[in-house]
Amino acid sequence: MSRWNPTNKIAAIALIISLFACIAAWIAIPRISNAIGLDDSPQNRCADYGIKIVSPRDGEEVQEVFQVSGTYINKPPQEYILTYTTTTGKNQFWPQYEVQLNESKQSWVGQCDLRGEPPREAYCAVVVVGDAGRAMFDYYWKVGNEEDVWVPFDKVTDDTEVCDIVYVKRTK
């Protein structure tokens, strides 16, 4: 009597087809979710959008409040592109502002503020955030505006990705 009777063959073929279907779904679902906007993780978003800072240049002296501008290759969702400043010696992050896009020039403009804290030397970054990062940003501004307290974060959310960063010095 053969082990491979017709019932066993059908079961083996069904198992193999199921295995291939699972592998195909494992490969396809993240790509489909990302294509239709269900995946809000920022990993590699910066590379996808090609977001860069053009001005100020790294090491440049700036005023207390200064404009940050740059370019992008693929249009990002404006409400999820923000500026941040961070200290040079400690992990302290100050959310700054949402950037404004100029679609015809594939450019963006934002602002950074070095009044008070952070110190005279800092980094200014352009970041892409997901929903958690956006919620944290909005909360920072809500509390800051209502209480006039601007406490930096010790850490950013996991869905925050730095696209580009420049070191700046505040003029005296």
Cα distance between residue 99 and residue 27, in whole Å = 34
Evaluate the omega torsion of the peptide bond into residue 77 and state whether it is cis, within 30 degrees of 0: no
What 3 state SS string does 149-170 have? CCCCECCCCCCEEEEEEEEEEE
Cα distance between residue 172 and residue 169, in whole Å = 9
What 3 state SS string does 47-105 have? HHHCCEEEECCCCEEECCEEEEEEECCCCCCHHHEEEEEEECCCCCEEEEEECEEEHHH
pLDDT (0 to 100) of residue 29: 44
Fold of 45-170: Immunoglobulin-like (2.60.40)
pTM of the model: 0.71
* pLDDT tens for each residue of the chain, 172 residues long: 556 666 667 766 766 766 655 454 455 444 433 433 434 444 578 889 999 999 999 999 999 899 999 999 999 887 888 888 887 777 888 899 999 999 999 999 999 988 876 567 889 999 999 999 999 999 999 999 999 988 888 888 999 999 999 999 988 7
pLDDT (0 to 100) of residue 37: 40
pLDDT (0 to 100) of residue 128: 92
